[in-house]
Structure 1
Amino acid sequence: MEIRLNTPLTPEAVKTLKPGDTVYLTGVLYAARDAAHKKLMELLDAGQPLPFDLKGAVIYYVGPSPTKEGEVIGSAGPTTSSRMDAYTPRLLELGLKGMVGKGRRSEAVKKSMVEQGAVYFAAIGGAGALIKETILAQEVVAYPELGPEAVRKLEVKDFPVTVIIDSEGQDLYELGREAYLAWKAENED
């Protein structure tokens, strides 16, 4: 199923998403990788506000390559999401509703997603040059010293993602494996 959503995500919109859905996001995504997540945790530990509002926010786990002259952003493919697993439950508790990356998530993250009503999307790894075409503007909002890992506000239009884990904890990676094993058992000679 193809779905078009605007950010920030509402709880109602998140509840409609199921593993395997193709979603086109329009609005703002925040780019942040592990170094930025560590700094965000330091701010929270110090009782300081975050540099962006987490309510309904979607974080894209990306560190774009350098921007060429005349372009909005460099190649912007996803990084491995498990690098952010230690930080994610805390951000979900503060209102984060969506994450975009690649790869599996920990059981702790999945549990927190269910508790907080959040969704995990995958972007296509290796397609960063194509993905960047959906990014209309970018602005560094925190930690410029981190270079490509700075927190960026990305304005996107029809940013393509696939729902991997829904707000009920259903995981496309697990469902796909189960379906394959069932098919294999039915079709073995």
Structure 2
Amino acid sequence: MEIKLNTPFTKEALKDLKPGDNVLITGYMYTARDAAHKRLVELVESGKELPIDVKGACIFYVGPTPAKEGQALGSAGPTTSYRMDAYTPALLDLGLMGMVGKGKRGPEVVKKMVEHGAVYFAAIGGAGALISKKIKTSEIVAYEDLGAEAIRKIYVEDFPATVIIDSKGNNLYELGREEYLKWKKEE
């Protein structure tokens, strides 16, 4: 069963999600990768205002290809999330509630996620062309000079993702490994 979620996220909306839950997200998200995250955190550290409102927001770690005619964006496959780990805790402290990418997250990120009730989702790597069909609008809102890595505000409808780390810190990658080892031992 897929769970429908709407952005902006709230702690209440995310609190019952479990690792492995499949979700369909509708609403606005931001796209950003490591260069944009670095700039955002530099602003935070200097006490300046961010060009985006991260409170309740979901950031999709993606550097999409240019849009073809009739599309909001081109291929939009997730990028490796740990590249944002140095910057993510500061954004979680400002109210970021969701992140979409692929791969593991570091312990400091998970600790901050639990502290703030945030969730980490995975999108399917290699399915960027299919994912882009769920993106209905796209507008560059910051750092246009970064090209594909500029921050975009996108509107998504039924964007498919899987809960990897829930708001309590339970991690599908760890749980899945434990389950596999248990199954292997019984074999």
Query: What interval of TM-score do these two structures reach, taking the shorter chain for normalisation?
Result: over 0.9
Alpha-carbon contact 2:71-2:136 (below 8 Å) kept: no
**Shift, 1:47, TM fit:** 1.6
Question: What is the CA–CA distance in structure 1 between the aligned matches of 2:104 and 2:74, rounded to whole Å?
Answer: 25
Question: What is the CA–CA distance in structure 1 between the aligned matches of 2:97 and 2:150, rounded to whole Å?
Answer: 21
Provide the residue aligned with 1:147 in structure 2: 147
Question: What is the CA–CA distance in structure 2 between the aligned matches of 1:170 and 1:28, rounded to whole Å?
Answer: 26
SS in 1 for 2:15: helix
SS in 2 for 1:141: strand
Question: What is the CA–CA distance in structure 1 between the aligned matches of 2:123 and 2:69, rounded to whole Å?
Answer: 25
Provide the residue aligned with 1:182 in structure 2: 182
Say whether residues 1:168 and 2:168 are aligned partners.
yes
**Shift, 1:84, TM fit:** 0.1
**Shift, 1:70, TM fit:** 2.8
Provide the residue aligned with 2:46 in structure 1: 46
What amino acid is the match of 1:27? G
Structure 1 runs not aligned, ≥5 long: none
Which has the larger displacement, 121-130 or 67-76?
67-76
What amino acid is the match of 1:154? I
What amino acid is the match of 2:43? L
Measured against aligned partners, the alpha-carbon deviations of 1:58-96 in whole angstroms (never above 9, x if no partner) come to: 000000011123321110000000000000111001000
SS in 2 for 1:114: helix
Provide the residue aligned with 2:6 in structure 1: 6
- 1:11-30 to 2 correspondences below 5 Å: 11-30=11-30
Give the alignment's TM-score, normalised by structure 2.
0.98
Provide the residue aligned with 1:122 in structure 2: 122
Question: What is the CA–CA distance in structure 2 between the aligned matches of 1:160 and 1:37, rounded to whole Å?
Answer: 23
What amino acid is the match of 1:87? Y
- 1:32-71 to 2 correspondences below 5 Å: 32-71=32-71
Q: CA RMSD in A?
A: 0.7
Question: What is the CA–CA distance in structure 1 between the aligned matches of 2:19 and 2:169, rounded to whole Å?
Answer: 9
Question: What is the CA–CA distance in structure 1 between the aligned matches of 2:123 and 2:70, rounded to whole Å?
Answer: 24
Measured against aligned partners, the alpha-carbon deviations of 1:9-41 in whole angstroms (never above 9, x if no partner) come to: 011011011000000000001000000001111
SS in 2 for 1:100: strand
Displaced runs of 4 or more, over 3 A: none
What amino acid is the match of 2:35? A
Provide the residue aligned with 1:84 in structure 2: 84
Question: What is the CA–CA distance in structure 2 between the aligned matches of 1:2 and 1:52, rounded to whole Å?
Answer: 29
Structure 2 runs not aligned, ≥5 long: none
